[in-house]
Structure 1
Amino acid sequence: MRPLRAALRVETTKALASTVLRATTMILVGGVVLLTSTMTWAAAAGNEQVLAQLGPLADLVGWERYTAISAQITAAGGLLALGVALSWSVGREFADGTMSGLFALPVARRTIVAAKLIVHVAWSVCVAVLLAMALLAVGIASGLGMPDGDATQALARLSVLVVLSSLLVFPVAWAVTVGRSLLVGVAVVVGIVVVCQVVVVAGGDGWMPFAAPALWAMDPADVSPGQLVLVAAVPVVFGVLSLQAWNRLELDR
């Protein structure tokens, strides 16, 4: 466990000093809050274009509409932001040319990438809490009043959605390693977002692991516990693949 603890300390230090992660956090939290509050205000004012874009959500009111809109925005924006952040975390070693130096360390490369993945999830937990708190504060300040039990549960599901999204972008770590490029990871996360949006718009069910958390966050009745558990297959499979890919890296490739 000592090598893992050492790797975690290093990756945590990198994350805390990272301008990329700070910027991503501010953009994700600020963007979701701004879009949610703007669309909620426009819908309440009777803006026909916004109401048409909201579809079934237009019939909701108060905290119910506010949290539903935030979940819909977070479903797409969260995946993209978290995927780009993970692409940077794993791919920076290739982009900065520091990968060769890792071969001289006493810590195994698979341990290093495991630490990167753990720190990535830990960061997403912080983002999830910050986002829920920001949405709560803005909702109260905008005149929605104190949230009831349903609204509180919706905000809690939103936080869980962010954390699950951080697990669903694990394919990015594997793709970046195989492709040795940040752009490969960005392309993969964009593909994941597109597929999820198509599934949600087409009325797909919760058997699609990448879309299940979003559907569950918007309406828990749409996703069964078994479908939600299936989401765990994505980080497990691609986490193992990432560890293997880093363990097999060669300097001449």
Structure 2
Amino acid sequence: MRAALHLEALKLSRATTARAASLIVVLLVPAMSAAFLAVVRADTGSVLASKVGALLVDTGWGGITGFAAQITSVGALLAVGVVICWVFGREFTDKTFGALFATPTPRGSIAAAKLIVVVVWGFALSAVAAALTLVAGMLIGLGAPDAAAWAGAWRVLVVGVLTVLLTLPFALVASAARGYLAGVSALLGLVVVTQIVVALGAGAWFPYASPGLWSGLGGPQLADEVTVPQLLLALPVGVAAAAATWWWWRNAKVQ
């Protein structure tokens, strides 16, 4: 198992896909958050400022961390989701899955190593994004982080962690479909479905919508209505997907 973890971590660290996703989450999240808040604070009366202002709780630390949480709920889902599809689908696209039957490491252990590495990487990205959001806030003149800043950074981290867990079902899709493109297609389709569910008013109980609503994507009122049980629906989704993916790899046959 240790060898599998080392190998999967090495492959992820050298993958262009993972590097691009890392930059998107850790740099784009704080940069966009700071830019949006700067537009609102400038009070130019532009259309962008009015639209962005509707999502704000305030124009201080709560504003920039709120933006960061909202962007993370979408950006992390897409970035980490694409990477997890690649991690599990590349063995089939590159025609290396059959060779895994000749290795001393069980395929279930390989799948577990892939899951652990991607989840740890995703959690780390969320933590870095939250920290850099505080740095970005100081750079645009918000001063030293206060209690509201740390609470907002915690929200960014929680949204990131929940979102990473919600990407795990795409590992199963990419594995069962024997290719990462199917997983990416399912990811994009789910984004559309999420928008429809939110429009119908059932977003709080839909695992893929509740973190985004809690972060403020639907406005401050909807954010306050999201409950802890609704947020925690991401946990059984992630755990069930991880278990199903492990079972599939353990019992898969060469085609």
TM-score (norm 1): 0.90
Tell me the percent identity. 37
**Which residue does the alignment assign to 2:97?**
99
Residue among 243, 246, 250 paired with 1:247: 250
Note if 1:159 corresponds to 2:157: yes
| Secondary structure of residue in 2 paired with 1:210 | coil
Please list every run of 5 or more consecutive structure 1 residues that lacks an aligned counterpart in the other structure: none
CA positional deviation for 1:199: 4.0
2 CA distance for matches of 1:197 and 1:44? 29
CA positional deviation for 1:135: 1.0
2 CA distance for matches of 1:69 and 1:163? 16
1 CA distance for matches of 2:246 and 2:57? 47
Amino acid at match of 2:156: L
CA positional deviation for 1:143: 0.5
**Which residue does the alignment assign to 1:60?**
58
Amino acid at match of 1:171: P
Q: Is the 8 A contact 1:29 1:130 kept in 2?
A: yes
Assess, with a 3 A threshold, how the Cα gap between structure 1 residues 148 and 164 changes in structure 2: closer, same or farther.
same
Deviations 1:92-143 (A, max 9, x none): 1112211111011122212111110111111012111211121111110110
TM-score (norm 2): 0.89
2 CA distance for matches of 1:200 and 1:243? 31
Between 232-241 and 221-230, report the one with greater CA deviation: 221-230
**Which residue does the alignment assign to 1:225?**
228
| Secondary structure of residue in 2 paired with 1:146 | coil
CA positional deviation for 1:81: 0.5
Residue among 8, 11, 15 paired with 1:11: 8
CA positional deviation for 1:178: 1.2
Please list every run of 5 or more consecutive structure 2 residues that lacks an aligned counterpart in the other structure: none
CA positional deviation for 1:6: 2.4
CA positional deviation for 1:240: 1.9
* 1:109-128 → structure 2 map (5 Å cutoff): 109-128=107-126
Q: Is the 8 A contact 1:209 1:231 kept in 2?
A: yes
* 1:163-202 → structure 2 map (5 Å cutoff): 163-200=161-198
RMSD over aligned Cα, in angstroms?
2.0
Q: Is the 8 A contact 2:24 2:75 kept in 1?
A: no
Amino acid at match of 1:12: A
* 1:40-79 → structure 2 map (5 Å cutoff): 40-46=37-43, 47-54=45-52, 56-58=54-56, 60-79=58-77
Note if 1:26 corresponds to 2:29: no
CA positional deviation for 1:197: 3.7
2 CA distance for matches of 1:64 and 1:163? 20
Between 181-190 and 203-212, report the one with greater CA deviation: 203-212
Q: Is the 8 A contact 2:31 2:136 kept in 1?
A: no
Note if 1:134 corresponds to 2:137: no
| Secondary structure of residue in 2 paired with 1:239 | helix
2 CA distance for matches of 1:62 and 1:215? 20
Q: Is the 8 A contact 1:205 1:222 kept in 2?
A: no
> How many pairs were matched up?
249
Amino acid at match of 2:241: F
CA positional deviation for 1:192: 2.6
Q: Is the 8 A contact 1:52 1:58 kept in 2?
A: no
Between 48-57 and 65-74, report the one with greater CA deviation: 48-57
Assess, with a 3 A threshold, how the Cα gap between structure 1 residues 59 and 243 changes in structure 2: closer, same or farther.
closer
Amino acid at match of 2:2: R
